[in-house]
Amino acid sequence: MENQHLNVKSAGGWGALISSGKFLMREGFLKGSQTLFRLNQVEGFDCPGCAWPDPEDSERSMTEFCENGVKAIAFETTNKRASSELFSQKTVSELNELDVYSITNQGRLTEPFYYNRAKDKYEPISWDSAFEVVSKHLKSLEKPDDAIFYTSGRTSNEAAFLYQLMGRMLGTNNFPDCSNMCHESSGVGMGESVGIGKGTVSLEDFDKAELIMIFGQNPGTNHPRMLSELQKANKRGAKIVSINPLKEAGLVSFVHPQDVGQMLTNKATPISTNYYQVKLGSDMALVQAIVKYILENYSITLDLEFIEKHTAGFEEYKKEILSKDWNELVKQTSLSKEEIIEIAELYVESDKTICCWAMGLTQHEHGVATIEEVMNLLLLKGNIGKEGAGACPVRGHSNVQGDRTVGISEAPKEDFLQKIDSVFNFKSPRSHGYDVVHAIKAMHKEKNKVFIGLGGNFADAAPDTKITYEALESCNLTVHISTHLNKSHLICGKEALILPCLGRTELDIQQNGVQSVTVEDSMSMVHPSKGRNTPASRDLKSEPAIIAGIADATFGKEKVDFIDLISDYNKIREKIEEVLPTFTSYNASMESKTGLELYNSARNRVWETETKKANFLVNIAPDLTLDENHLSLMTMRSHDQFNTTVYDTNDRYRGIKNKRKIIFLNEKDIKKLGLKNGEFVNIQSHSKDEIKREVLNFEVVAYDIKEGCAGAYFPEATPLVSINHFDKKSFTPSYKFIDITLEKVNK
């Protein structure tokens, strides 16, 4: 039987346009479509979709958005409401019965709600009473470290800064953050390697690169605007190498939906010049093999001057790589030696190479080590701080990088804390706080904590669903500052609050008038974002105003007057600039067209590492062999979801319609396991901790995925992810390598 899923189509094109249109119609066309024209414009708001940077003003088209940006906007500007009507009709237990799609599509939250445990229902509560509930709990904690302040990366710099200030005034560094589940491994790995945890490229570098290597990323769905850069690069003859277990349509070819010519001819242009399907987790061994080949055959092409002047540890690294056994490495990589040589030669031929990566590299137990290996590769030819070259960890949430920059960190640097202390005149705590994994473990073990989430959906984003739910339920209080209903609101602590906030597209008026916020993109550019839409409800507050409300109720105005700070966000930015000198002329830069470019040391070949050099780092590739009939599973995004928000149940580029509980398998594995395409299986995962983890009734889908590997969507497959499997340096859960077996369901 012919299998539609094995025919990879191209990304973009009419499908993208039609899908965008359908979405706008469904959620309320007028507001959504008008809003789109202000998206990513100089005077507009930043797209809440992803952190891909905006082009220079002169190159910005009127329609600087992509299909998934359209969905994010339609979702925010929707006419649907999760109001008191919904909560009076349905108990929390009833809402908990709904699937992810139904929960996340109830629409915008309209007013603060307090959980009435006796009735098992959310009921409206006034803002002042809500702030009182939170402050009462914060003030009666046994110790400040019993409070946990989670942040998701859509939060603005201004809100994030106030939030960390409030937490540190309370006396804790417990700031688990969505980064912990996302690019933390990039931050840690790049920090150890080149002294800064951020990408070193700008958009112009994409115009000059000779080779772009894309590891573990699906830009067609998750960073669609990146496809136009790749398409341009391909057209001018750059090589584009994709390294991915799965054939992703967006990495194969693309029809630009905003290019009339391409649309009329419907002619897709290629993206990747070379595509290598690797096994999950084998990237590190692959890079080592590439380096080995280069050291053995082309050592003359290395940038020896750069290595000599700018790096440390080269000799030791070289010795280690040369000592590796070829056959062993080739086996680990899951490619053939010829393929490895092909990639190595492309790298040798290129004088300017960019390496991009996303979750396929970071969400592994050896995520940090893999990123350090990629950095080693780049250093060999001086590809850091060189035009047209560099490291590009493609970020997720639109301001995940900015939140970190302004202080959301469980392990803050001493000089940052000293600045906070001197600017605000109090002594902030020095001991490190909890990341996501350790926050869950602490809540689960010690109980009686207070959990506050600034955006996000902790319950469904975190690993090991059952344990995470139990952890949240054991809290004395759970609070979520959110735009839309999600699972976290339904997994309640002893007391629970939902505090609804304005979205990016909405008008934010404070005492001194209309406010804008700022965000930082993947390339260290900070720019303003100003919403214009009438808010979804009159009872919403901005994120900074909600934080100020909690802080004011808890601490009063003696040390810091939070209410004054939010009267005009320029005042918050002044404080950020005082604490972080890289934000020079922050407020003035809000008026400029380009925004503020934060200083990037590695880009300037200044190495803020202990050795004061860029470091070659030696790591040992892990043994990833599994038992007979076991597979490695990755959990990933469909085309119609934004993390834990499911916009729709299709995954167009992978040919999937109206289903989410599926498992992508290679045809050979399907046959070997005695299964058939379309049959149903229960999936068990196997972990060192020997806890039984299982999800039921997933449909088998034959797909062009590397043999031995499997893929399923999150959050449906997240119950399989063990809380005990994470990178020991970045603490990022192993969402992309789960040891599983399948059991056929007899229907």
Ligand X SMILES: Nc1nc2c(c(=O)[nH]1)N[C@H]1C(S)=C(S)[C@@H](COP(=O)(O)OP(=O)(O)OC[C@H]3O[C@@H](n4cnc5c(=O)[nH]c(N)nc54)[C@H](O)[C@@H]3O)O[C@H]1N2
Of 334, 357, 316, residue with least CA distance to 619: 316
List 106, 244, 518, 650, residue binding ligand X (CB under 6 A): 244
3-state secondary structure 658-701: CCCCEEEECHHHHHHCCCCCCCEEEEEECCCCCCCEEEEEEEEE
Cβ pair 712, 723 in contact under 8 A: no
Work out how close the CB of 19 gets to ligand X at its nearest, in angstroms, rounded to a whole number.
12
| Residue 601 Cβ vs ligand X, minimum distance, rounded to whole Å | 24
149 binds ligand X (CB under 6 A): no
Dihedral angle of Cα 402, 404, 406, 409, to the nearest 10 degrees = 160
456 binding ligand X? (CB under 6 A)? yes
The pattern of x and - marking residues 378 through 407 that bind Mo ion according to CB under 5 A reads: ------------------x-----------
| b (16+ CB within 10 A) / e for 295-324 | beeeeeebbeebbeebbbbbeebbebbeeb
396 binds ligand X (CB under 6 A): yes
The tokens of 62 are what?
Answer: 């009127």
Q: Is 531 in the site for ligand X (CB under 6 A)?
A: no
Which one of ligand X, Mo ion, none is in contact with 501 (Cβ closer than 5 to 8 A by kind)? ligand X
When the beta carbons of 613 and 693 are compared against ligand X, the nearer one is 693
End-to-end CA distance of the chain: 22
User: Does residue 457 touch ligand X according to CB under 6 A?
Assistant: yes
Binding status of residue 182 toward Mo ion by CB under 5 A: yes
Pick from 87, 149, 175, 215 the residue near ligand X by CB under 6 A: 215
Q: Report residue 168 CA to chain centroid gap.
A: 25
Site for ligand X in 350-389 (CB under 6 A): 358-360, 363
DSSP state of 459: H
Measured from the CB atom, the residue of 168 and 223 that comes closer to Mo ion is 223
Helix (H, G, I), strand (E, B) or coil at 735: coil
Minimum gap (Å) between residue 651 Cβ and ligand X: 10
The binder of 721, among ligand X, Mo ion, none, by C-beta within 5 to 8 A per type, is ligand X
Q: How many CA atoms lie within 13 A of 269 on its CB side?
A: 18
Tokens of 655: 């040919």
Strand stretches in 555-613, DSSP E: 596-597
* Residue 723 to residues 352, 462, 464, 519, 693, Cα–Cα distance (Å): 40, 9, 5, 31, 11
Closer to ligand X by CB, 213 or 525: give it: 213
Which residues does residue 693 pair with via DSSP β-bridges, in sequence order? 685
- What amino acid is encoded at 634 in this protein? M
Binding flags for ligand X, 118-147, as an x/- string (CB under 6 A): ------------------------------
Among 169, 243, 330, 526, binds ligand X (CB under 6 A): 243
User: Minimal distance in Å, beta carbon 184 to ligand X?
Assistant: 10
Other residues' Cβ atoms within 10 Å of the Cβ of residue 333: 25
Closer Cβ to ligand X, 542 or 615, answer by number = 542
Which of ligand X, Mo ion, none is residue 222 near (CB under 5 to 8 Å by kind)?
Answer: ligand X
Adjacent-strand bridge partners of 168: none
Based on CB atoms, which residue is closest to ligand X, 35 or 644?
A: 644
Binding-residue total with Mo ion (CB under 5 A): 2
Cβ closer to ligand X: 244 or 600? Answer: 244
**Kind plus residue range of the DSSP H or E element containing 148:** strand 147-151
Considering the complex, state which of residue 53 and residue 385 has its C-beta at the smaller distance from ligand X. Answer: 53
CA dist 707 and 665 (Å) reads 8
Binding partner of 486, given ligand X, Mo ion, none, CB within 5-8 angstroms per partner class: ligand X
- Within positions 683 to 722, which residues make up the interface with ligand X, using CB under 6 A? 714, 718, 721
Q: Which residues bind ligand X (CB under 6 A)?
A: 49-50, 68, 104, 152, 154, 178, 181-182, 215-218, 221-223, 243-246, 248, 278, 280-281, 283, 358-360, 363, 396-397, 454-458, 461, 481-484, 486, 501, 503-504, 543, 634-637, 641-645, 714, 718, 721, 735-736
**Interface residues toward Mo ion, by CB under 5 A:** 182, 396
